[in-house]
Amino acid sequence: MSAPAEGRVPGTVEEVYADLLARAPEHRMEPRLDPVRRVLALLGDPQHAAPVIHLTGTNGKTSTARMIEAVLRAYGLRTGRYTSPHLERVTERISVDGEPVADEDFVRVWGEILPMVHTVDAELEAAGEPRLTYFEAVTVLGFAVFADAPVEVVVLEVGLGGITDATNVADGAVSVVTPISLDHTDLLGDTEAEIAEEKAGIIKPGGFLVSAAQDADAAQVLLEAARAADVPFRFEGVEFGVLERRLAVGGQQVDVRGLADEYRELFLPLHGAHQAENLAVAVAALEAFLGGGQRPLDVELLREGLAQVTSPGRLEVLRTAPTVVVDAAHNPDGVAVTARAVQEVFSFTRLALVVGVLQEKDARTMLEVLHREFGDLISDVALTQSASPRAIPAGDLAALAVDAGWPEDDLFITESVPDALEWAVGRAEAVETSADALASGTAGGVLVLGSITLAAEVRSLLGAPAHAGPVTVAARGMDPADLLAAVGLEDDDADAVDPEVLELLDDREEHTR
């Protein structure tokens, strides 16, 4: 693609995004750091303006980053969070104080750094190299925004791998490695150990390694990297971890053994055993950052921060009656933990799937995992494709689904995401939906998963929830008579309760008269 004219300065987020998209796309990473270092040097090295908590791994990076950020904010620290990809708007990647950077700041800072970006572009082209890529440019912009704010700590998520990822120009005070599994094998390696070699690149002298539980070979790679850098290392399942977890209204209660203390009955407003494990990693990382792993966290500030945690596109309920859940799981391990979490949290009598996968992903294994995890529970699967040019055509995905064990009669094939969603909702609605059925957890549901681009499209179609949402018993096996007391509401708090719940309570009262 041709570069935008150097004399033109974009005036809106959309124009900045168009400039960024004119560069090499996000999935086409350049294995280099020098160009990023060069442009940052011209900007005064903003990547060193605040201490960094650097995260890599295959799954769980963004959720863990959001947990860390929320607790740091509860401590009164001004935070910058850099994550990728975005679901709806590019500004989501660069967050200040828990919110996407303001449009005017995003545009202004890009205009300010553009001359230096163009300088490095020209140097690269003169040397016969590609100019700064999309991801390199956004990463530079993120560091510049954080220095401009300014923030007091940066929570920084790797884009891909670690060693030559553009974010690795920063030196993490704490390096966090979430679970490593097979993904991007064409770029990172064919085994967990080979992938760990790439991700271990973020472990730097003067830092502190906090790792989730890993495959034995991957753990050994990380251990050796930490020893080579002469940094402390702590592993989930050895020095810290989840002690116990219990389902709760709107999430789960988790007991965590940290590095310096145990933290009991932490409410986490996210679902699934994997999110509890992400929480344990986040707690250890916070202990390492705030107290060198030696001082306990303030438990009240920890609770305050966790209460604010959200993770858009991760087991996110977008609507009820029927319940539509969207999840950005996009590799076999991610699909497996999502499937288990759905079965744990919801009690659907009938569940329909909407699946769309990108070409570089292991779609066949993902579909096999779904078939193994759900078995005879599902007979309605819509196979579709997002608007991404990298999406596997729906027909090709259907062929893979049949190979993976799904009966042809169970499949609905369409290139249209709205049509796939409409069909799945119709199938989920083909169950008993009376108040008693809802109260006993026998309603239908829809699970959308397979790619971040699909999750984003469905969120756009249905509308992302503006907040955690009202209390609901749909698809949960909860006695509605106990609901208000369970969430600490009084009768005059009825406006905070989903109308569906109030109808259930009224029905219950009618039946007992």
What's the pLDDT score for residue 189? 58
Whether residue 417 has pLDDT greater than 70: yes
What's the pLDDT score for residue 186? 55
| Residue that has been written with the tokens 């609507």 in this structure | 319
Least confident among 113-122, 228-237, 431-440, 476-485: 476-485
Handedness of CA 376, 377, 383, 387 (dihedral sign): negative
Q: Could you tell me the CA-to-CA distances from 369 to 334, 365, 470 in Å, in that order?
A: 10, 6, 32
User: What is the arithmetic mean of pLDDT over 54-83?
Assistant: 96
Whether residue 318 has pLDDT greater than 70: yes
What's the pLDDT score for residue 190? 66
User: What is the arithmetic mean of pLDDT over 481-507?
Assistant: 41
User: What is the arithmetic mean of pLDDT over 151-176?
Assistant: 93
pLDDT greater at residue 464 or residue 17: 17
Residue 112 CB contacts under 8 Å (≥ 6 apart), including other chains: 144
What's the pLDDT score for residue 9? 84
- How high does pLDDT run on average in the chain? 87
First CA to last CA distance, the chain: 72
Whether residue 15 has pLDDT greater than 50: yes
* Residue 479 banded pLDDT, cuts 50, 70, 90: very low
Whether residue 213 has pLDDT greater than 50: yes
Whether residue 161 has pLDDT greater than 80: no
pLDDT greater at residue 182 or residue 118: 118
pLDDT greater at residue 58 or residue 371: 371
What's the pLDDT score for residue 473? 34
CA 17 to chain centre: 21
Percent of the chain with pLDDT over 70: 85
CA-to-CA distance for 388 and 378, rounded, in angstroms? 27
Are 207 and 231 contacting, i.e. CB atoms less than 8 angstroms apart?
yes
User: What is the arithmetic mean of pLDDT over 79-91?
Assistant: 94
User: What is the arithmetic mean of pLDDT over 226-232?
Assistant: 97
Q: What predicted TM-score, i.e. pTM, was given to this entire model?
A: 0.85
pLDDT greater at residue 479 or residue 118: 118
User: What is the arithmetic mean of pLDDT over 54-64?
Assistant: 93
User: What is the arithmetic mean of pLDDT over 252-268?
Assistant: 98
What's the pLDDT score for residue 227? 97
User: What is the arithmetic mean of pLDDT over 307-313?
Assistant: 92
* Residue 435 banded pLDDT, cuts 50, 70, 90: low
CA-to-CA distance for 457 and 89, rounded, in angstroms? 12
Whether residue 88 has pLDDT greater than 70: yes
Whether residue 411 has pLDDT greater than 90: yes
